[in-house]
Structure 1
């Protein structure tokens, strides 16, 4: 179904004179065709392309119409979990191999995450994707490895996006684990052939041993334009000089400060023309969406005197990650321009308000509509109705009534509500052992019957000091903490104060939501 969105357009594009610079905004329309791609962006009442006579028309007034937000660093399998820090610890962790060795890590993180991937994999993914949607995210990296593709995802899963063809797993490669030189050499060759490689690299305090991961990547030829390095906060500013064919860094300041007390040298990367994007990371040490994470980036930049403007920060979740994906995806994301993906977010705004400052200040309650591939998936009831959203169910987000359009992951003809997703997750939480055992029995029965394989997920983060397989011998030891709300709330901000190693800086995040 074709769709026309009318409002104050923030395209982040220079397209045929429509926008004179990436900062341009104007009253106009975005025309999304039946194929989910943008056909035209027009100013004022200019006519659109042919074939839109029966299109749904959504007029959002003076609200902002932007490219959907892109989160290039997340771990969806851990989205239900609360913020974590090792009890009694008084010093920041040194690097990414330090905290998985903490005594509380397996029981607090690995075991509850395992309970959900084993007993409720579909519901876990649905929860994580809805959490992304309510923050305006339309594409996210970090969906857990799985035994079969899924056609019913709501947001785009960066590594698994298909675009109607073969799975892009050979185009967008990723690793959270440190790779050996021979594997890095293979990734180098794949990037030269057009693939992208998203790599957790040099995560820790400056000059800690993990800085060697970046040097190994350099020696193996990985410092290319399609290299996407997550973190790199263990590097000195001069280390970026070796990246002569600049690619992309994904900056997760909340997680960096929470665990290590320091973060990426963003100005040094930008000075080398390295693209910097912002990612939310994961539940145990991250924000709930990139709309929240850019606020942390603003706090860090202000304290450090980096002079990052709201425009700079909003770029980091729109056109910058979109440009990083445009090569391997063979389609533009993060910009509203012809042939780009029809992924759109509408943010509430006052007439004539500065668009970029408005987005930086916006919270979940200001997200009015989220469109992925021309399909309305989330928003306020009036806009969802105008967009002819299917299978609507109600949500309450940050005190605002919202509508979600969600179907079963395996069957887009079957409606699914977030209430059902939460109910199933709560069943697992109430008795993890019972539900894990039942899932194992169902898997064995399906194998015996020769039926279709049941969806299985794998964790993509370290397991910590646990038995082989990740679970305790006695499943009755598993305790799953309360499932976290999908929007930032007072309890989240209260859990920050006096914890982590940010020196109080992250306490300021709550001021944006007051």
Structure 2
């Protein structure tokens, strides 16, 4: 997996950054040149760096300090004057549009070159460009895209006052609860989520609707799109509009779906323990997480010892009844009630935190200690949570994070850092960073353009409202934007539906993208029965949950004597400028894990006494000395950065190191390489792969378990199932196809998920026949059956030995045997007409099909009546 480009977010990593990126210029009020210049002072706008040759960093401030003239760091906000981010001005003149922010400057081919201020993966390009192919893949980012073969005749879209960003990613929502308005908790504040969920500890229970109807879910997806989002992990979703990263509605993104795990301890019944791990009988265990690319568990949502105990029980298998679920693919949702040593564990495992500040603050009056999390070297993503207590869209959540950063966190995070929480870091959290979240060649063209007339660079995103979102594209397909722009033929939005937004004529492409007769009007009517679609940027949404920390312990907020509003007078506060109230899990004093008199929330070294330590970097998670922005194997230390095929996937982490596969492109493999664990080059689960073969069987084209098998030879392990979910596979027996998707072991059954099917050749005679199996024992016994999984096989003469293979139930399965061998089940997964009405002893001269595996049993799946040659009884009456 390629995970890259997390640059430092705060003040604790500057010395290492300067060493790693001494030649990079900064993006701030001015750019530095040369070596390093002196540190600037603190203040509202930061201080200016000193003179060369030995100066350094701009000072602390909400707007960041100016880099020194000798080459210090400037910044776009936050402590330490912001963070290193190269700024490049391209020698290109953009054509102002006749109206609005963007317009078509040159009509050309189906490829599109979008130009403006480009927020690239590790550089900001003024007058830069993003070249999008006709297939929705980014081909170029930077200054010279016009000079590429595709760019030379591309349609050019110029946005002189626009900021071009990756589509925003919301890594945490519960979208099936979109049939709710915000819930008013009044002055009630909770210590643990089970208190408001179940009324535990005598606290008032919050009652909410669930199971939102299809159009209400689509309404919620549209609401996110209008805020610049293209993807969410929403524990639900519908086909069309947003990519739903934790379902199969990925909209053809070649990644494995993430797992949003709301109750990893199986504690939905409200069980809470301050110590011990005796929760439910079916907790998530290590094996459930091992094969995932993205694992998103709710852990430690609360501020008491019961919340912190959840981390203990999900991070340590040595604890009785505990399990270790903290892996590189783990992104803990909430992580409110945790301590520095917990985040040290997360950093060592390269895990991530998903922060939902509005929901945390409104329910608990407190939130995750994100300044400390950053200091511990753990990346942070930002998610909305849900309608009852969270933000209505991702921009409102960004506004909340920005407000807390300014008023309670002493400007700790730069604008760049906040923007990364909803782009790159959110992609890391969901296991999709090889495909989306960054503007890079080979990545999918999920792109949002923002109005930068009044707000520049990253601030154009952070401070935006829905009216400022000029264009949203998912995989190069338009979803939303300014009507004048969408009406341009090259954009593809002429048929999209009109939607006036805050005085700006917009269009939303609901009918065009969803299909099936779904319309914008129907979706809006369904959703606005519960809450409005949008509010303008100068409005506070009706009944919006509070982003102002409040509890009875600190009722007055920020005062002259309590600058951070945590209820502790500045003179007694271990962090006088950073909000860090005393939580129930802290006992009677502010948290200071290392006992050095500096509180955890403002300590550069939370687990080491003093302020002089070699702090881990969230921007070099593998610690190999190469920051993520330049590291071609972010999760694997590889100082040498060897990359034999020059595809920006280092040899140490490239599944096909000799064959280029930039970005989300899959490695081309034989089916046997994918299927056989012992094969050289066998990919890990969750890897994008590309295979070719002939279609040998197709499941019925209905329901949510559609798909087909492909096979490329009669060699062992040479067939695999392709899962298309609720989508029609669009193939037939004998088609020769190439399938690109994600390799997965679904309950030990190998399959390719999220497939893209290309190179479909019409049905032709398959160059091999069904494999003849003399003894059913071969296919009924795991050790010998595994190589034949999904392969086209023929049994020859068999008789029924069991009329109903599942006594007490009726799944239309019967069992047959040949040569007195172990019985093999025959199932109706492909041929629905099969029934188990034939008696024991019924004979067949042959049964042909593909070998399936489900519910711990191998099963033969006939595909049509022609596959069953019966003698005395027809099982497909």
For normalisation by structure 1, the TM-score amounts to 0.73
CA offsets, 1:382-425, max 9 Å, x none? 2212312253111122332210111388x63x564322223345
What residue in structure 1 maps to residue 398 of structure 2? Answer: 294
2:496–2:511 CA contact under 8 A, matched in 1: no
1:95–1:204 CA contact under 8 A, matched in 2: yes
What residue in structure 1 maps to residue 534 of structure 2? Answer: 486
Pairing 1:210–2:307 present: yes
What residue in structure 2 maps to residue 196 of structure 1? Answer: 294
1:407 to 490, 493, 511: 511
CA offsets, 1:174-212, max 9 Å, x none? 2112424886663x335443532111110011x330211
What residue in structure 2 maps to residue 26 of structure 1? Answer: 126
CA offsets, 1:243-276, max 9 Å, x none? 2112111111111110000000112222232110
Q: Does the C-alpha gap of structure 1 residues 394 and 299 become closer, same or farther in structure 2, counting only changes over 3 Å?
A: same
Q: CA deviation at 1:494?
A: 5.7
What residue in structure 2 maps to residue 231 of structure 1? Answer: 334
What residue in structure 2 maps to residue 356 of structure 1? Answer: 458
Q: Does the C-alpha gap of structure 1 residues 100 and 138 become closer, same or farther in structure 2, counting only changes over 3 Å?
A: same
CA distance in 1, matches of 2:310, 2:349: 18
Q: CA deviation at 1:285?
A: 0.8
Q: CA deviation at 1:312?
A: 0.8
2:358–2:547 CA contact under 8 A, matched in 1: no
Q: Does the C-alpha gap of structure 1 residues 165 and 332 become closer, same or farther in structure 2, counting only changes over 3 Å?
A: closer
After TM superposition, the structure 1 = structure 2 runs for residues 338-377 of structure 1, keeping only pairs within 5 Å, are 338-350=441-453, 354-377=456-479
2:391–2:545 CA contact under 8 A, matched in 1: no
CA distance in 2, matches of 1:282, 1:488: 20
Q: Does the C-alpha gap of structure 1 residues 228 and 403 become closer, same or farther in structure 2, counting only changes over 3 Å?
A: same
2:162–2:450 CA contact under 8 A, matched in 1: yes
Q: CA deviation at 1:278?
A: 0.6
CA distance in 1, matches of 2:459, 2:151: 36
CA distance in 2, matches of 1:356, 1:384: 24
1:380–1:401 CA contact under 8 A, matched in 2: yes
Q: More displaced, 24-33 or 68-77?
A: 24-33
1:380 to 464, 482, 491: 482
1:271 to 372, 375, 379: 375
What residue in structure 2 maps to residue 470 of structure 1? Answer: none
Q: CA deviation at 1:82?
A: 2.1
SS in 1 for 2:452: coil
Q: Does the C-alpha gap of structure 1 residues 486 and 44 become closer, same or farther in structure 2, counting only changes over 3 Å?
A: same
Structure 2 spans left out of the alignment, 5+ residues: 1-108, 267-276, 317-322, 559-877
Q: Does the C-alpha gap of structure 1 residues 42 and 23 become closer, same or farther in structure 2, counting only changes over 3 Å?
A: closer
For normalisation by structure 2, the TM-score amounts to 0.44
Q: Does the C-alpha gap of structure 1 residues 317 and 495 become closer, same or farther in structure 2, counting only changes over 3 Å?
A: closer
Pairing 1:311–2:416 present: yes
1:92–1:260 CA contact under 8 A, matched in 2: yes
CA distance in 1, matches of 2:367, 2:413: 15
Pairing 1:95–2:192 present: yes
Q: Does the C-alpha gap of structure 1 residues 23 and 505 become closer, same or farther in structure 2, counting only changes over 3 Å?
A: farther
1:331–1:340 CA contact under 8 A, matched in 2: yes
CA distance in 2, matches of 1:67, 1:45: 17
SS in 2 for 1:217: helix
Structure number with larger C-alpha Rg: 2
1:42–1:48 CA contact under 8 A, matched in 2: no
SS in 2 for 1:492: coil
CA offsets, 1:430-481, max 9 Å, x none? xxxxxxxxxxxxxxxxxxxxxxxxxxxxxxxxxxxxxxxxxxxxxxxxxxxx
SS in 2 for 1:204: coil
Q: CA deviation at 1:348?
A: 0.5
2:169–2:437 CA contact under 8 A, matched in 1: yes
CA distance in 2, matches of 1:174, 1:313: 23
What residue in structure 1 maps to residue 160 of structure 2? Answer: 61
What residue in structure 2 maps to residue 174 of structure 1? Answer: 260
CA distance in 2, matches of 1:420, 1:171: 29
CA distance in 2, matches of 1:177, 1:355: 39
CA offsets, 1:272-322, max 9 Å, x none? 321101111111111121212122112212213251111110110011112
Q: Does the C-alpha gap of structure 1 residues 3 and 60 become closer, same or farther in structure 2, counting only changes over 3 Å?
A: farther
CA distance in 1, matches of 2:548, 2:349: 39
CA distance in 1, matches of 2:544, 2:257: 39
User: How many residue pairs align between the two structures?
Assistant: 420
SS in 2 for 1:209: helix
1:77 to 176, 182, 196: 176
Q: CA deviation at 1:344?
A: 0.4
CA distance in 1, matches of 2:252, 2:444: 15
2:315–2:324 CA contact under 8 A, matched in 1: yes
2:344 to 241, 255, 263: 241
SS in 1 for 2:541: helix
1:280–1:290 CA contact under 8 A, matched in 2: yes
CA distance in 2, matches of 1:504, 1:350: 37
CA distance in 2, matches of 1:501, 1:404: 38
CA distance in 2, matches of 1:131, 1:69: 13
SS in 2 for 1:284: coil
What residue in structure 2 maps to residue 160 of structure 1? Answer: 247
The structure with more helix, counted as a fraction of residues: 1
CA distance in 2, matches of 1:295, 1:237: 27
What residue in structure 2 maps to residue 7 of structure 1? Answer: 115
CA distance in 2, matches of 1:123, 1:378: 17
2:131–2:151 CA contact under 8 A, matched in 1: no
What residue in structure 1 maps to residue 563 of structure 2? Answer: none
CA distance in 1, matches of 2:326, 2:547: 38
2:118–2:125 CA contact under 8 A, matched in 1: yes
2:357–2:547 CA contact under 8 A, matched in 1: no
SS in 2 for 1:407: helix
